[in-house]
Structure 1
Amino acid sequence: MISKSKWIAGALLAAACLTAFAQDGDTRKEDDAFLLLRDSVRRDDASKAEFYAARLANYAIPSYVDYYRLKSHFRDASAAEILDFLKRYEGSAIADRLRNDWLLELGRKRDWAMFDQQQPLFVLDDDLQVKCYTLLSRLSKGQNVANEARALLVNPPNYGEGCGALIAALSQTRQFSAEDLWAQVRLAGEMNATGPARRTIILLNGSDKKIAQAIDLPAVALAKGAGQTKDEHEAFLVAVGRAAKTSIKLSVLALKKALPKLTPQERAIGWANIALQASYVIAPETSEYWRQSSGAPLSIDQFQWKARSAMRDGDWSLLRQTIAAMPASLRADPTWIYWNARAMAAEARGNTPEVLALYRSIADRQDYYGLLAAEELGRNVSIPAPGAPPTPAEIAAIAASPGFQRALKFFDLRLRFEGTREWNWEVRRLNERELIAAAEYARQNHILDRMVYTAERTRVQADYTHRYPAPHDDIMAPTTRTLGLDRAWVYGLIRQESRFIMNAQSSVGASGLMQVMPSTGRWVAKKIGLTDFVQDMLTDVRTNILLGANYMNMVLGSMDGSQVLATAAYNAGPGRLRSWRSSLTKPMDATVFIETMPYYETRSYVKNVMTNATYYAALFEGKPQSLKARLGVVTPKGYTQQEQQQTTFSSR
């Protein structure tokens, strides 16, 4: 017979379970209402937004409920209403987000009094249009902002109303010359930004229809010829560059035919436009096109591709000259500090004091160029001893932070954008010990991408197992061992592909840790005899690693064992890599090959993966590693293993 005390205990337990179940059900209902509120605002449905907001009076994240409620009628909201929100949530990520929204609206209305009051309070200050409005406000007060505007206005597709208005005001106040405006027209043409090109050419009394045709229908514009006026010449030159994307030969013929009508500088601009497109496809005549572009005012991309062409040709003198001519901000980029040092060392046949000073200026960076520079100074990659682990009290302090609690709530809701914003906002104000504790807290909550992000911000007490984690090694180690794959390389690729987010999904449909495409998954499954494969299996850790590692192994074999080529092929596709490799007539230093790959995304990807792999190898093997040795050289297809080894040895 059950005792009375046991019966009472059981009843209390059952009641507690029922209460918890009811509360859990209520929480789910509130979460659903919050997601519907967010969706209503995104669809600009104010009535539904108010309906769902009214049901969230006690929601776990009140600041976001209030944010979406305000955003649903933002353009009609009073300044008092917005200021009240900012006061209530001052110091939070969502308050800074709302201030960003408001600054855009204030700039659009030209309410400079309120704009000037709020702009210094915008913490992240990472919005291009807000930056343009800031200069526009200063310009309205008679300040000279031309130099700052030239440095800022380099990406026409993202200009929007604010930057367009700034260009118009700079023209009207004569702070921008006609040449400044023509530079903007050319840049817009180069970047396929028809709207900004049309707006700017009107300021020059040119034909917006002709510049639009040059960008959108370049073959038609070329057929009409260069014309007679300045704006017709400029539109023609834009068309030369645009048409070269599909046919360099056609553009060359059209430019040569028009040469008698063009000034020397216009001819140089035409050749620079062709040279840029030729660089993207590694055309054999690229160097000659750049030679003929001498005297042209170059865009940021043109400067960089002229430099890459010089390094591919081994023309170190031209590389130095090109870097020296770059704008100061570009010249100060670690990429060009490193390559300037390489060019100087090649010309001097050794590392002079000036060269060593350049290497030292970037050698403490823990990225691709920092590691390469450090090796030139005799320092290979090694893993420092970690500092003291975080205490339970330090981790508890992180867990108690409302910002981190909001982040975890958003991650639970699968709102990764909002969760990441909240997490990053909190991380920016932490000291070293707090960063270590936050990284460990992320690990404990299985948010490995934020663990990596947080750990990378430590400087003195870095824990490299947080920076370079190796989850699922019970699956990875036997898989790579069976295939004979370098485990450090595979983890280096995963760290770049997904940051260890198992349910990561790319815009093109790649899934899981190793971001395997469904078509690739089916193909690899068939190759290795996995007969029961279905697409949903790509989000299973074991299957994702099995298929991804086998695909890496297949690509590596097709690229003659070169990790550099295989990494690039994993990102850009084996077909493109075969095409890029076919341009080689002799072995090439892998750093040069990587730097001159046509796709920005693939260049960055390979640099990051190979850097990651070097750190992982140092962790796994417990000894210093050489990034340069891992990169080696890239050879044309058909080199024997012995020839590759001889080439690698002779390049050291």
Structure 2
Amino acid sequence: MSLPKLLTGAVLAGSCILPALAQLAPADSAAADEAFAELRDAARRGDSVKAETLAARLQQYALPSYVDYYRLKARMPAVTPDEVRAFLARHQGTAIADRMRNDWLLELGRVRDWVNFDQQYPLFVLDDDLQVKCYALMSRLARQETVAEEARLLLTNPPGYGDACNGLMAALAQAGQFSADDLLVQLRLAGETASTGPARRAAELLGVTDTRAAQAVDFPALAMARGIGTTRAEHEVYLVAISRMARSSLPLALVAFEKNLPLLSPQEQAIGWAVLAHAASIKLEPEAYLYWQRSAGAPLSHEQMQWKTRIALRKLDWKTVRDTIEAMPASLRRQPVWVYWLARALQTDPATAPEVVPAMYRSIADQTHFYGQLALEELGQLITIPPPGPAVTAAEQAAIAANPALQRALKFFSLRMRLEGLREWNWETRKFSERELLAAAELARRHDILDRMVYTSERTRTQFDYTQRFPSPHNEILTPTTEELGLDKAWVYGLIRQESRFIMDARSSAGAGGLMQVMPGTARDVARRIGLDFVKEKLTDLRTNLLLGSNYLNMVLQSAGGSQPLASAAYNAGPGRMRTWRRKLEQPMEGAIFAESIPFLETRVYVKNVMANATNYAALFENKPQSLKARLGTISSSTAPPSDLP
């Protein structure tokens, strides 16, 4: 029964619901589910009157802790500390209690209630909110603690700063713990990430008008026309404008920069060359390598360090690769990508001690991702599937199925409330043993929530079930299609695993849908080419989606000359971009270097994951060792005419 039918004769007046809704008692009724969804929406809007009315009529609902939570969240700014503490006590140890503590900490930080904040922050289990972390440093700063070094490590992502991190930046400057150099770093980061608010804040603290900083980020041509200024801070704002202009027109930025080059200090000149090098790098322009050489002495952001390394890789300049990685902060240098490439660089130096490089490869070779597989091959081994451990018993499955948090997660998934379902599932499984993880993955399989099955099974380290980690559902549909097209089924499954994690109704922000995340326009064009009647509503139909996705994948594979890395890039970013990246090649390039230097972050991650997935699927399907390096191959430039692929 739908909610509108249940409310026959009732009216919604303003934000108040009249008593006809009082019949919503059954915990499993469709009407109760619909009312619960309305309660969540009311809480998000801050409609406390409607939330209170709905919550009062859902007292027997299957998710009582969330009914309780949404009732309070709807009026969070007015909730008293006693009310929140009572909620936390009632639901202690649950995901929603930690979520409530997160919400409350943000509110306590906003009003600068450091007494309650300091009491609650140590109890925040996940501690995964950047703004809460910034408020925590502000609280310590208010107690006159020195927190500058921790703040420098934290303040690296201006788009996520909000009130908390912008406030922390100002407080550090006012307390004398952030110098002008620190603020200039923040200004450069804000420019690099097109973050107008943090740019304004940093500029104000440096004595430059916030209007000038905003123009540098949003209207760089106007900012450049105003001139370079006279102070160091004004020079840096000008360089932000150069950085922003270089993203849209590198030649114009270069002309403006060189015009004022004599007016800049040697370090400012190096910073200017670094921002031009960064822009040239993400366009894969040949000048990038020269610009990075000219940037010597510039303080580089994390992103700039990584792009300098990628361009050096493309030039096979192993000394620069080594020097740049070794200059990275430890947190960045420890990432598997840079462990692998540093080992490769050290391998070219005869002075490297013989035991160093193998030890570096071994430190990541037990991981099934792209660089773990490449490291394993450097150690002389191929990729294989580890033998499965003992099967999950009926008793283990029964115990997991009875887990209240997982039951809540399953309820949320049934309501298509994925965010809440993920929160409950991930919260509970983080404390599971390996046997419990395998049993939980099996529970997810039984309920056809394959993304949680993959996520959960991937967390085991000594017992494995690769049918959970690398599932192959709908094989009876996909196999005939791949065989007819001559496609590598392992690669197709590797791509689906990355695209949708086997969520059939997955839909991207761009409108792509289904297991293979096909765009409506692409689906229409492919359907026309293969003679299939198609309407947009069929995009998530299982057979239609797999048929259209596989045919499109085959088309881009042909346009990529049979290269799976190139075709994977084209499937994600479009054939036109793939052809552009291929034309930028000055000489044949190792597939791993090509993948690492793809300009788009999303596509770079995508291609590496698809290729690693495909290697694991091939080992699983063929039951024999596989080589990721062979699958990646060598990427060559192409003079092929433009394709008419969408």
- When the two structures are superposed, what TM-score results if normalisation uses the length of structure 2? 0.94
**How far, CA to CA, are the matches of 1:533 and 1:202 in structure 2?**
56
1:96 match? 98
> 2:322: which partner in 1?
320
Q: Indicate if the aligned counterparts of 1:133 and 1:166 stay in contact, CA closer than 8 A.
A: yes
User: Residue in 1 aligned with 2:632?
Assistant: 631
Task: Please tell me the residue identity of whatever aligns with 1:625.
Answer: Q
Give the equivalent residue in structure 2 for 1:459.
461
Q: How far apart are residue 44 of structure 1 and its match? A: 2.1
Task: Give SS of 2:526's match.
Answer: helix
SS class of match (2:125): coil
Helix, strand or coil: the match of 2:197?
helix
Pairwise mapping of residues 450-529 of structure 1 onto structure 2 (< 5 A)?
A: 450-529=452-531
**1:420 counterpart (422, 425, 441):** 422
Cα distance in 1 for residues equivalent to 2:355 and 2:414: 54
SS of corresponding position for 1:474: helix
C-alpha displacement of 1:338: 0.7
| Mapped partners of 1:461, 1:485: distance in 2 | 32
CA contact (8 A) 2:28 2:62 kept: no
Q: Secondary structure at the match of 2:260?
A: helix
Question: Taking structure 1 as reference, are residues 351 and 483 closer, same or farther at Cα in structure 2, changes over 3 Å only?
Answer: farther
Which has the larger displacement, 235-244 or 357-366? 357-366
Tell me the equivalent position of 2:159.
157
Counterpart of 2:376 in structure 1 is 374
The one-letter amino acid of 1:333's match is Q
- 2:332 paired with 1:362: no
Deviation string 1:307-357 (CA, Å, 9 cap, x unpaired) is: 111111111111111112212221111111111111111333999322112
Aligned to 1:650: none
* Letter of the structure 1 residue corresponding to residue 571 of structure 2: Y
Report how far residue 379 of structure 1 moved. 1.8
- C-alpha separation in 2, matches of 1:352 and 1:610: 30
1:307 alignment partner in structure 2: 309
Counterpart for residue 539 of structure 2: 538
Aligned equivalent of 2:139: 137
The aligned residue for residue 45 of structure 2 is: 43
Aligned partner letter, 1:330: L
In the other structure, the counterpart of 2:387 is: 385
Find the residue that maps to 1:348 and give its secondary structure. Answer: coil
Runs of 4+ aligned residues of structure 1 deviating over 6 Å after TM superposition are 22-26
Q: How many residues align?
A: 617
1:277-306, CA deviations, whole angstroms, 9 ceiling, x for partnerless residues?
Answer: 111111121111111111111111111111
Is the 8 Å Cα contact of residues 271 and 295 (structure 2) preserved in structure 1?
yes
* SS of residue paired to 2:349: helix
Is residue 340–residue 371 contact of structure 2 (8 Å, CA) maintained in 1? yes
Instruction: Tell me the amino acid that sits aligned with residue 635 of structure 2.
Output: V
Q: Does 2:189 correspond to 1:195?
A: no
Single out whichever of 339-348 and 519-528 deviates more from structure 2. Answer: 339-348
Corresponding residue SS for 1:244 = helix
Aligned residue identity for 2:600: Y
**Secondary structure, aligned partner of 1:110:** coil
Structure 2: how far apart are the matches of 1:196 and 1:25?
Answer: 47
Change in CA separation of 1:76 and 1:23 when aligned onto 2, cut-off 3 Å: closer
Q: Which residue of 2 aligns with 1:178?
A: 180
2:557 maps to a residue whose letter is: L
How much has 1:574 moved relative to structure 2? 0.3
- Deviation string, structure 1 residues 132-172 (Cα, Å, up to 9, x no partner): 11111122222211111111100011101111121112112
Q: Which amino acid aligns with 2:606?
A: Y
SS at match of 1:537: helix
Task: Provide the secondary structure at the position in 2 that maps to 1:338.
Answer: helix
Secondary structure at 1:451's aligned position in 2? helix
State the match for 2:583 in structure 1.
582
Q: TM-score, with normalisation over the residues of structure 1? A: 0.93
Specify every segment of 5 or more residues in structure 2 that has no aligned partner in the other structure, as ranges: 1-23, 641-646
User: What whole-Å deviation, never above 9, does each CA across 1:499-518 have from its counterpart, x for those lacking one?
Assistant: 00111111111110000111
- 1:548 is matched with 549
1:23 and 1:203, CA in 2 relative to 1: closer, same or farther beyond 3 A? Answer: closer
AA in 2 matched with 1:276? H
Aligned to 2:604: 603
Kindly state the Cα deviation for residue 395 of structure 1 after the two structures are TM-superposed: 0.8
- Equivalent position SS for 2:516: coil
Confirm or deny: 8 A CA contact 1:568 1:577 kept in the other structure: yes
| Alpha carbons 1:345, 1:351 under 8 Å: kept | no
2:339 alignment partner in structure 1: 337
SS of match in other structure, 1:560: coil
Amino acid corresponding to residue 613 of structure 2 in structure 1: N
Contact 1:498 1:512 in 2 (8 A): yes
How far is 1:231 from its partner? 2.1
Change (3 A) 1:355 1:106: same
Q: Which moved more, 1:350-359 or 1:396-405?
A: 350-359
Secondary structure of residue in 1 paired with 2:72:
helix
Shift of 1:220: 1.2
1:52-106: CA deviation from partner (whole Å, max 9, x where unpaired):
1111011000000000000111111110000000000011111000000001111
Aligned partners of 1:286 and 1:230: how far apart in 2?
Answer: 26
Any unmatched runs of 5+ in structure 1? Answer: 1-21, 640-652
Structure 1 residues 627, 349: CA separation in 2 closer, same or farther (over 3 Å shift)?
farther
The 3-state SS of whatever aligns with 1:245 is: helix
* One-letter amino acid matched to 2:593: V
Matches within 5 A, 1:22-37: 27-37=29-39
Report how far residue 26 of structure 1 moved.
6.3
Partner of 2:570: 569
> Distance in 1 between the 2:396 and 2:331 partners?
40
CA deviation after TM superposition for structure 1 residue 116, in Å: 1.2
Per the alignment, residue 445 of structure 1 pairs with 447
Larger Cα-atom Rg: 1
State the alpha-carbon separation in 2 of the partners of residues 443 and 141 from structure 1.
51
What's the counterpart of residue 645 of structure 1? none
Matched-pair contact (CA < 8 Å) for 1:207–1:231: no
The separation in 1 between residues aligned to 2:237 and 2:51, in whole angstroms, is: 47
Structure 1 residue 632: deviation in Å?
A: 0.9
Following superposition of structure 1 onto structure 2, how do residues 219-238 of structure 1 map, counting pairs within 5 Å? 219-238=221-240
Q: What is the CA-CA distance between 1:620 and the residue it aligns to?
A: 0.3
Q: Aligned partners of 2:639, 2:210: CA distance in 1, in Å?
A: 52
Contact 2:47 2:75 in 1 (8 A): no
Deviations along 1:186-208, one digit per CA (max 9) or x if unpaired, are 11111111111111221122221
Superposition deviation, residue 224 in structure 1: 2.3
Distance across 2 between alignment mates of 1:229 and 1:165:
25
Structure 2: how far apart are the matches of 1:328 and 1:423?
32
Instruction: Summarize deviations over 1:229-251 as a string: whole Å, max 9, x none.
Output: 22221111110101101111111
* Aligned sequence identity (%): 61
Range 22-31 or range 38-47, more displaced: 22-31
CA distance in 2, matches of 1:350, 1:374: 20
Change (3 A) 1:415 1:168: same
In structure 2, C-alpha distance between the alignment counterparts of 1:505 and 1:202, rounded to whole Å: 42
CA offset at residue 481 of structure 1? 0.6
Cα deviations across residues 10-64 of structure 1 (Å, max 9, x unaligned)? xxxxxxxxxxxx9989611111110111111222221111121111011000000
